[in-house]
Structure 1
Amino acid sequence: MFLLGIIALALLPALMNGLRYSAQQSTVATATRQVNGLVDQVRQNPVCGTIGSIVGTSAIPRSFADGRGQTFTTQATIGSCSAGSVVSLHITALQGSVTLATADALVMIPPNPVTVP
């Protein structure tokens, strides 16, 4: 029994590190899914005026929480946007000052429809 207790104590730090790493990777996976989901939302609604509110900006970041309740924010750098052009996005998910995930994407903004009088 004593020998099993010593072995269990020796393995305890490895177990704790594994649990901590697993929790951290869960947050990173959630942030990655969220960033990719934001790119998909922009592609579904490609309007210059709404991109900043969808992805979040450095002035107004968006906040999300993972399954454990850990919060992270997303911020984006948005290239010049006009109808009929391609806009570049660089989205970053941050937890404090730690970068969890990033994504770069190009989104086609459709041209304004032509109206016939």
Structure 2
Amino acid sequence: MKGISQWCKAHRHEPLLPRWRPPPNAAPALVATWEAELRALVAHEEGHRDLAIAAGAAVAVALETTPPAASAEALDEAMMTRADAALAAARERERAYDQATAHGARWPAA
């Protein structure tokens, strides 16, 4: 879905991440642990971004491939049903992703 990819690049969404400025006397091991945890969190959130982009593409495909219907109401119903199914599948992928990664605590995803 070229249009969706272009929109996502133009409307970058950056997750709100925790910040910590270690004091000069911070233990090097603590700083290294913080940096590793932050990298894992960023990777996890990028996974959510990728899943959201895929969900948008799946909804677009579901709508674009809806067969003609006898009436506008029937077409609306068919499109809603197809979009709802695509979104339900996307929500399940998000749930499975969070479960596999323990919401980012276990990285990379199993």
TM-score, normalised by the number of residues in structure 2 = 0.46
Q: Which has the higher strand share?
A: 1
Bigger relative CO (Cα 8 Å, ≥ 6 apart): 2
TM-score, normalised by the number of residues in structure 1 = 0.43
Q: Which has the higher helix share?
A: 2
